[in-house]
Structure 1
């Protein structure tokens, strides 16, 4: 299936690890030029070098996506460097833990406001695309309570549901689509669940058992959903929340 992404231009925030990195490589595999950002300059440089090997144009730099002015400037730099912008993926997360004020402030600043600020900066460029797409990475934690320790993270992921649905309705007339992807438990070396596997093997085993598939998602499986939603094959899908969790959640959407 031709997804129609060859020659398109995509920006992925938090694009050097796990799901974000898999998304960046997913776009490159489809022939799209890729821009990315993350906090760590060495990791940004390494990821850019690896992406260039795929034969696509690559742009990126290290920055704090919680700095609205810096993020907006970067989005404009991306559009200049790549000759426009067709796809935005707001993936960066504070991965906040706990119910304290600092956790809430961190999750608000990164998970929610970085998404909003990236979208606002990207909209003028996406409107020129003719097929602009936004995908925000939420989580199953936004729709089900997985414990008080994840309340700050879950609260902001839930807020993204409303924001993106409303955004989708208001930008449709500009030819821009906006969707969410909500991953379930996702495993990769160095990631959250890898650390749980090492530090709390019983908790890790229980979470494996909780999924009827008996495993966690691979980052590439989440990325595939994002790439599809960003493509012309999803041209009439907007305002949707695509859950990619291997049936882990038991909630029945209404």
Structure 2
């Protein structure tokens, strides 16, 4: 039986670890050729080796999503490798602690911390999306999934820049879905809850017990569980799904 993405070309940003690596592996398992992009090229190559070891086909691409020229080159390299761009998962992002903003009150944030988080988590998604759409227009359509967050749907103290950026990704997803539906380009978002990745280690160490008390399923999610939702949204089985933001959060936002 053919996979959900058989014969499709996929691009994943932030593919070096966590959700991005899991998604790249899931895309390949479902029959896609995968361009695994990350600013850490060596780690992206490790993702490619894992795909190849499982019998898939992939290429690694170095890209910093804060650099528009690198983003354009990334999309061009993916198309050069596989001939088209059918699916894109704009997953690259950073956590508050990476810009010294975790636990800082909104009005006390340093401007550099605010701008740094927003540049990666929002502007980076938009840069990727606009170059992906340009390619998908040329070929007659495609599917894009952006990584937002449950904190793109609700608030959280001490995380103002992260929360604002992820809310904006939700808004960008909805607006782009409306804009590009006539071009046969679907745009959706996944909103992960607290997932077992390196990015959540600092948060869970500091306040994991309080967070788990809010999760009805009483556990963290896995990167693979997010990847399954992304694969489905990129597949033809989701042909009438656009502008949606799917919560994969163990019930965190149901309370």
The question of a shared fold, defined as TM-score above 0.5 by the shorter chain, is answered with yes
CA distance in 2, matches of 1:181, 1:77: 25
1:118 aligns with 2:136: no
CA distance in 1, matches of 2:95, 2:200: 12
Shift of 1:41: 2.2
Shift of 1:131: 4.7
Shift of 1:10: 0.4
> Any idea what the Cα deviations from partners look like across 1:114-136, whole Å, max 9, x if unmatched?
11111111113223444500000
CA distance in 2, matches of 1:194, 1:96: 12
Q: Which is further off, 169-178 or 120-129?
A: 120-129
Q: What pairs with 1:152-171 in structure 2 (closer than 5 Å)?
A: 152-171=161-180
1:187 aligns with 2:187: no
Contact 2:24–2:47 at 8 Å: present in 1 too?
no
State the match for 1:225 in structure 2. Answer: 229
CA distance in 2, matches of 1:3, 1:155: 36
Contact 1:86–1:126 at 8 Å: present in 2 too?
yes
State the match for 1:47 in structure 2. Answer: 47
Specify the SS of the correspondent of 1:56: coil
State the match for 2:148 in structure 1. Answer: 138
Contact 2:66–2:124 at 8 Å: present in 1 too?
yes
Specify the SS of the correspondent of 2:16: coil
CA distance in 2, matches of 1:48, 1:111: 24
Shift of 1:153: 0.6
> Any idea what the Cα deviations from partners look like across 1:92-141, whole Å, max 9, x if unmatched?
01223423212221122111111111111111322344450000000111
1:107 aligns with 2:117: yes
Alpha-carbon RMSD across the aligned residues, in angstroms, is 1.7
Change (3 A) 1:52 1:106: same
Contact 2:94–2:199 at 8 Å: present in 1 too?
no
CA distance in 1, matches of 2:183, 2:145: 16
Shift of 1:214: 0.8
Shift of 1:220: 0.6
Return the match for 1:213 from 217, 227, 242: 217
1:151 aligns with 2:151: no
Return the match for 1:243 from 243, 247, 251: 247
> Any idea what the Cα deviations from partners look like across 1:18-76, whole Å, max 9, x if unmatched?
11111101101101000011122221121111111222221122221110111111111
State the match for 2:104 in structure 1. Answer: none
Specify the SS of the correspondent of 2:145: strand
Give 5+ residue unaligned stretches, structure 1. none
CA distance in 2, matches of 1:49, 1:2: 22
TM-score by length of 2: 0.90
Specify the SS of the correspondent of 2:189: strand
Q: What pairs with 1:50-69 in structure 2 (closer than 5 Å)?
A: 50-69=50-69
> Any idea what the Cα deviations from partners look like across 1:138-192, whole Å, max 9, x if unmatched?
0111121111x2110110110111111111111111111000110111113xx13
Specify the SS of the correspondent of 2:213: helix
